[in-house]
Amino acid sequence: MTALPWLDTQKLWFPDPEQALDDPDGLLAIGGDLSTDRLILAYQSGIFPWFSDDQPILWWSPNPRCVLFPSEIHIARSLRRTLNRQHFTITGDQAFSRVIRLCAQTRAEGTWITEDMIAAYSKLHRQGIAHSIEAWNPKNELVGGMYGIAMGRCFFGESMFSLETNASRVLMVHLARQLEEWGYRLMDCQVESDHLIRMGARTIPRTEFLSILKESVSQRPDHDHWDIQWRWPDPTQ
């Protein structure tokens, strides 16, 4: 087994993502820190942290990579009926702290969203790099949410939660349509799941993902503020 590089806090670098292990898929490096500069470099390089409280920081770049191209969002007939009812109101950056904590608290299988991770991504949020998307019911209760990283024309989804049926699916549709309108190339979903595949996500080779990232992560998107303006029904359809 190839020895994984240990990162220290004094030197800001990552190994080539193509050096990541096949088993476990995508494990690339260990250690380092969750500083803003290191996290920015990680996402720019197609790498993300994923670890639990009893582990050192683990850095990943899986192959293949699960992504959603915004124009490929799949709206099933049942979801279209839900969208037509306009039960949920979707917003951006209105409750980042609540969203990230609910993402941590509502995962039955446990969470990698440790207090250190919350602190690190909250700092990125204050710098305008990390963002939240919220779903509210008619009682103005927060019933769904997602947070992630926006860089250039790429959005890196980190985690989502749903407290009401269809809240996360409606949120995904609104986010995808908004990202498409803003000229984003892709939404990084990291690892494949049945839910994501049903929403239109698919896997692509890591080399293709890294190529798109290299082209897009430094391009300026077609918006200045993270404000979810897109509304259903889509006026262009």
β-pair partners for 91: 134
Band of residue 2 on the pLDDT scale cut at 50, 70, 90: low
pLDDT, one tens digit per residue, over 120-176 is 999 999 999 999 999 999 999 999 999 999 999 999 999 999 999 999 999 999 999
Most distant CA pair in the chain, distance = 54
Cross-strand bridge partners of residue 48: 60
Specify if 233 maps to a domain: no
Are 186 and 80 part of one and the same domain?
A: yes
Let me know whether 27 and 75 are in one domain: no
Q: 10 Å Cβ neighbour count for 146?
A: 24
**pLDDT for res 207:** 98
Say what the pLDDT of residue 52 is.
86
- Are both 134 and 82 inside the same structural domain? yes
Same domain, 126 and 171: yes
Residue 127 placed within a domain: yes
Do 71 and 44 lie in a common domain?
no
Q: Domain for residue 57, yes or no?
A: yes
Same domain? 55 vs 118: no
Q: The CATH number of the domain where 154 resides is what?
A: 3.40.630.70
The answer to whether residues 75 and 83 touch, using CB atoms and an 8 Å cutoff, is yes
Q: How far is CA 142 from the centre of its chain?
A: 19
- The answer to whether the pTM exceeds 0.85 is yes
Element at 204 (helix H, strand E): strand 202-204
**Same domain for 119 and 41:** no
Residue 49: give its domain's CATH number: 3.30.70.3550
Question: Under a CB-based contact definition with an 8 Å cutoff, are residues 157 and 148 in contact?
Answer: yes
Start-to-end CA span in the chain (Å): 53
- What does the mean pLDDT of the chain come to? 93
Same domain, 58 and 70: no
Q: At a CB cut-off of 8 Å and minimum separation 6, what does 126 contact?
A: none
pLDDT at position 21 is 96
Higher-pLDDT residue of 3 and 116 is: 116
Question: What is the domain count for the chain?
Answer: 2
**Are residue 145 and residue 51 in the same domain, yes or no?**
no
Same domain, 170 and 109: yes
Nearest residue to 133 via CA among 144, 141, 122: 144
Task: Say if residue 106's pLDDT is above 80.
Answer: no
Does residue 146 share a domain with residue 157? yes
pLDDT score for 110: 53
Strand-by-strand arrangement of the 154-162 sheet: 89-92, 130-136, 142-151, 154-162, 186-190, 65-68, 202-204
Report the C-alpha gap between 88 and 144 in whole angstroms.
9
CA neighbor of 186 nearest in space, from 215, 210, 154: 154
Question: Contacts for 227-236 with beta carbons within 8 Å, 24 or more apart?
Answer: 227/92, 227/93, 228/90, 228/91, 228/92, 228/133, 228/174, 228/175, 228/178, 229/178, 229/181, 230/174, 230/177, 230/178, 230/181, 232/83, 232/84, 232/86, 232/173, 232/174, 233/83, 233/84, 234/177
Range of the structural domain that residue 36 is part of? 6-63
Amino acid occupying residue 148 = G
Count how many residues are written for the chain.
Answer: 237
Q: CA-CA distance, 109 to 101, in Å (whole number)?
A: 15
Give the tokens for residue 65: 């990579």
Do residues 189 and 204 both lie within one domain? Answer: yes
What is the pLDDT at residue 177? 95
